[in-house]
């Protein structure tokens, strides 16, 4: 089973500036796996212990509902506070699809089209915008084909996330492209700019737009941006370095807020499962929030791979027989969490997995868990 088929499932490596909030290892040991009333929870707990993770959450969903969701382990590595299915985990780049949905909503409202260009959205920068970016489209930004570098590198001075993203746009439009438009280069900066596009045409902050247009309508009550939990407490899962050192819940213990469109969302495994069920329902022809053609445009590959898959808007697309056909997938991390989603649209099911610890390498630490959950569902263990 080749878990590396999809080039799109790249670890988002934007690290946060929170070294002062990282606590040193305290000699804690992982809690042994135990039996649970839920078979899925028992499976997850055995995987958590084998992979030496503080906590692990997972869910299985179909286009009609969430089959099962569970969370096992502790909020602090070796600690006493157990996680629950309502605890918040960071999605990292798995949140990019929410930005694509937001752009899709604005397309449906007539405020944008997939071919709207940066020159049309930002006429104020006509005098400073490099000519290579004038014809870059919204779709280019969402499929990593804009030519922008992977991550921004500048000092910001504005006071709000929206104003800081405007600073990023002004700076980015003056930087030379890394590749030609149409050539793929994974770019968190491109998604940050896409968030600024939404802010410009909708006249509101990206965060408020996502909350009011997506999270609230879909009933994702645990979702948000920035700090998970209360400083000094373990009321939500603490983030962890790959060496198991916990990260104190402080406002600077996350990605910079300019990067929220690229991967700043957190939510519970149960709420993420609800969102993925909605995506599967859209793929099955039962779209809500979006027009059906818009929902399909988001998950249709633009940059094609030899198997007919490729890069869609906030999703990677591939064909994998062991999963059951056409797959939408992504991984995500802010360095101190990890998440993975695999949606098999041909068979109308999907799985998600999340942990509150980063990876020591570019390898996906949750690949064995995802493989086990797919086997668990396809072989009927969930019934």
Domain boundaries, the chain: 98-209
Q: Provide the pLDDT for residue 16.
A: 34
Query: In what helix (H) or strand (E) does residue 68 lie, and over which residues does it extend?
Result: strand 65-73
* Mean pLDDT (whole number) for 165-182: 97
CATH superfamily of 98-209: DD-peptidase/beta-lactamase superfamily (3.40.710.10)
- At residue 253 the predicted structure's pLDDT band, cuts being 50, 70 and 90, is confident
Compute CA distances 373 → 88, 243, 352, whole Å: 20, 25, 9
At 22 the pLDDT is 66
What's the mean pLDDT when you consider all of the chain? Answer: 91
Taking 80 as the threshold, does the pLDDT of residue 131 lie above it? yes
Place of tokens 């503080």: 54
Note the pTM of the prediction, 2 decimals.
0.92
Q: What is the model's pLDDT at position 2?
A: 42
pLDDT at 24: 60
**Tokens 């078979």 found at:** 39
Local confidence band at 339 (pLDDT 50, 70, 90 cut-offs): very high
Distance CA 376, CA 283 (A): 23
Residue 380 binned pLDDT confidence (cut-offs 50, 70, 90): confident
Query: Mean pLDDT, to the nearest integer, of 176-192?
Result: 96
């Amino acid at each position: 089973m080749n878990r590396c088929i999809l080039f799109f499932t790249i670890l988002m490596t934007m690290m946060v500036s929170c070294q002062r909030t990282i606590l040193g290892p305290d000699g804690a040991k992982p809690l042994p796996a135990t039996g649970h009333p839920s078979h899925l929870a028992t499976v997850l707990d055995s995987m958590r212990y084998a992979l030496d993770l503080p906590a692990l959450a997972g869910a299985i969903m179909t286009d009609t509902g969430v089959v099962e969701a569970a969370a096992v382990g502790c909020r602090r590595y070796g600690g006493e506070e157990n996680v629950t299915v309502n605890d918040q985990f960071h999605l990292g780049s798995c949140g990019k699809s929410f930005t694509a949905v937001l752009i899709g909503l604005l397309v449906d409202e007539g405020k944008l089209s997939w071919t709207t260009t940066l020159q049309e959205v930002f006429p104020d920068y006509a005098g400073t915008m490099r000519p290579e970016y004038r014809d870059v489209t919204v779709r280019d930004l969402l499929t990593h084909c804009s030519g922008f570098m992977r991550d921004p590198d500048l000092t910001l001075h504005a006071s709000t996330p929206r104003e800081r993203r405007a600073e990023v746009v002004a700076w980015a439009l003056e930087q030379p492209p890394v590749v030609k438009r149409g050539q793929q280069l994974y770019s968190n900066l491109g998604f940050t700019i896409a968030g600024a596009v939404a802010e410009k045409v909708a006249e509101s902050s990206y965060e408020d737009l996502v909350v009011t247009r997506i999270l609230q309508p879909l009933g994702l009550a645990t979702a948000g941006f920035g700090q998970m939990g209360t400083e000094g407490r373990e009321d939500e899962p603490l983030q962890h370095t790959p060496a198991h050192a916990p990260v104190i819940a402080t406002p600077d213990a996350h990605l910079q807020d300019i990067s929220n469109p690229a991967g700043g969302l957190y939510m519970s495994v149960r709420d993420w499962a609800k969102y993925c069920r909605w995506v599967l329902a859209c793929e099955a022809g039962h779209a809500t929030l979006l027009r059906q053609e818009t929902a399909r445009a988001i998950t249709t590959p633009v940059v094609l791979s030899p198997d007919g898959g490729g890069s869609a808007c906030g999703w990677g697309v591939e064909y994998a027989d062991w999963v059951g056909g056409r797959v939408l997938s992504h991984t995500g991390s802010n360095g101190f969490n990890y998440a993975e989603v695999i949606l098999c649209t041909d068979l109308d099911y999907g799985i998600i997995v999340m942990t509150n610890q980063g990876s020591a390498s570019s390898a996906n630490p949750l690949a064995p868990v995802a493989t086990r959950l797919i086997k668990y569902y396809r072989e009927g263990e969930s019934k």
